[in-house]
Structure 1
Amino acid sequence: MLDFIGTIVLVAAIIVSINALTGAMPINLSQRIAVSVGAGLWTGLAAALAAADLFVGTNPVGPPTIGTVIAFPLVATAVAASILPSVRAALLRMPMPFLIGLNVWRVAGGFFLILAAQGRLGGPFPISAGWGDIITGVLALPVAWLALRGQGKALAWTWNAFGMLDLVVAIALGVISANGSPLQVIHAGPGSEAVQMLPWSLIPTVLVPMFLIVHAVIFRQLARASQGAAALQQ
């Protein structure tokens, strides 16, 4: 039953977030469709690889495969934004309050705690990832509201750093607690086993890269705002 509910919530989070992000970008309809289709195909690929047990730590290709799936969107976005001014502009012109508020989906990190209670996750990974996501998600709307009013810049910096660090730590803990992985350091029952399989594998392979990109864009927007404010004071 939990997997059924998780599938509904995660698929909804992915679909709504992708459509919201493409809708917030200052791009034309054909570009918006292309981005949505590309994101959908990537999500389908991630789901297919998980269904084939290619993310499982005991599979020799598991760790490098899931690592590649997590890293590729990050690298591709960074490269595209670096060499294509249109991509960089599309990312940086999305409203910051919207990007912050999108993180409200992170309250679904409570699933990690439930999976741990059921004995399907173990060690520090579910506790760190679960509570980190919940805190980030709960604070997202208040921080977004302040940003909309042009207030709380210091809070936005702190919230954004915490939200990004939570994702980075979750990835690290997931990797070193994956049973059978050559990188395993933490041996704690099932470790991160549940997130190596559907539907929970959609979190590290689709949602985590998406939110890391969102955090990076927010950081850049905050930095530009600070530079602009400093220039006005000179």
Structure 2
Amino acid sequence: MLDIIGAIVITAIYAAIVGLLVGLSPLSRPTKLVACAVAALWPAAIILVAVSGGLAPGATGPVPVPVLLLVSMLALLFGGWRLLPGFREALLAVPLAALVGVNATRLVGIFFLLLAAEGRLSAPFAPSAGWGDIAVGIAAIVLVMTMMRGSVRPIWLGTWNALGTLDLLSAVSLGALSAPGTPFRVFTEGAGTQAIGTLPWTLIPAALVPLFLLVHVTIAVRLKSMQGAPHTLAAVRGT
């Protein structure tokens, strides 16, 4: 039952993030449709890999499959950021409040805690990733509400953005060091990240985490571009 609920929630979150980022960008309608269609290909490809047995431990040698999928999507996203000015400019045009707000979906971290309770994930990965995501998600909600009521100091946005990024990097590192069947596994007690090697949970590091990292980078660039502007010395509004 937890897997079914997780599949529904994770798919909905991925669709919501892509839809929000694309929908609020200044791209033309045809371009938006193409962008959404292309974005849908990635989870479809992951499902095909899973069906063909590609998620099995050791299927790609010593490097866990979720890590390879994560790195692949990061390469695609940040390659697009670097090489396609239109892609980068479209992201930077999304309202700041929306960029912060998509992180409210980080409450999905509660599934890590539920999987740990079932013995399918273990410490330190599960509690660190779970509670970290929940904290970042709650903070995102508070920040967006503050931005909608008026403004929020740039230092708070910058601090939250840095901590949100650090949480993701920490989760990825702990996950890699807890992966079963790898020679570099450090945390050997319990299930490690066994559940992450199965659907739908592989979609979190392979699809959601890269999107969150891209959003954090976009926020950082937006905040940096605002430095020194008169209206941002005291506060940043949700635009």
CA deviation profile, 1:20-58 (whole Å, cap 9, x unmatched):
111011101111111111110011112222333423433
CA 96–62 in structure 1, closer or farther in 2 if over 3 Å, else same? farther
Aligned to 2:186: 185
Aligned to 1:207: 208
Aligned to 2:88: 88
- Paired residues of 2:21 and 2:91 also in contact (CA < 8 A): no
Identity %: 36
Aligned to 2:164: 163
TM-score after normalising by structure 1: 0.92
Tell whether 2:128 aligns with 1:128. yes
Cα distance in structure 1, aligned partners of 2:22 and 2:181: 38
Aligned to 2:141: 141
Cα distance in structure 1, aligned partners of 2:215 and 2:125: 22
Deviation, structure 1 residue 121: 0.5
Q: CA RMSD in A?
A: 2.0
Tell whether 2:115 aligns with 1:115. yes
**Pairing of 1:3-18 with structure 2 (within 5 A):** 3-18=3-18
Flag the structure with higher helix content.
Answer: 1
The one-letter amino acid paired with 1:132 is G
The one-letter amino acid paired with 1:199 is P
Cα distance in structure 2, aligned partners of 1:61 and 1:34: 35
Aligned to 1:151: 152
- Paired residues of 1:51 and 1:198 also in contact (CA < 8 A): no
Q: Which SS does the other structure have where 2:11 is aligned?
A: helix
* Aligned residue pair count: 232
Tell whether 2:98 aligns with 1:98. yes
Cα distance in structure 1, aligned partners of 2:158 and 2:164: 10
Gaps of 5+ in 2: 234-239
Aligned to 2:237: none
* More divergent stretch after superposition (218-227 vs 70-79): 70-79
Higher relative contact order (CA 8 A, sep 6+): 2
CA 231–198 in structure 1, closer or farther in 2 if over 3 Å, else same? closer
Deviation, structure 1 residue 141: 1.5
Cα distance in structure 1, aligned partners of 2:160 and 2:134: 12
Aligned to 1:219: 220
Cα distance in structure 1, aligned partners of 2:127 and 2:166: 14
The one-letter amino acid paired with 1:24 is L
Deviation, structure 1 residue 18: 1.3
- Paired residues of 2:64 and 2:182 also in contact (CA < 8 A): no
Deviation, structure 1 residue 7: 1.0
Cα distance in structure 2, aligned partners of 1:144 and 1:64: 36
The one-letter amino acid paired with 2:79 is V
Cα distance in structure 2, aligned partners of 1:111 and 1:155: 27
CA 90–16 in structure 1, closer or farther in 2 if over 3 Å, else same? same
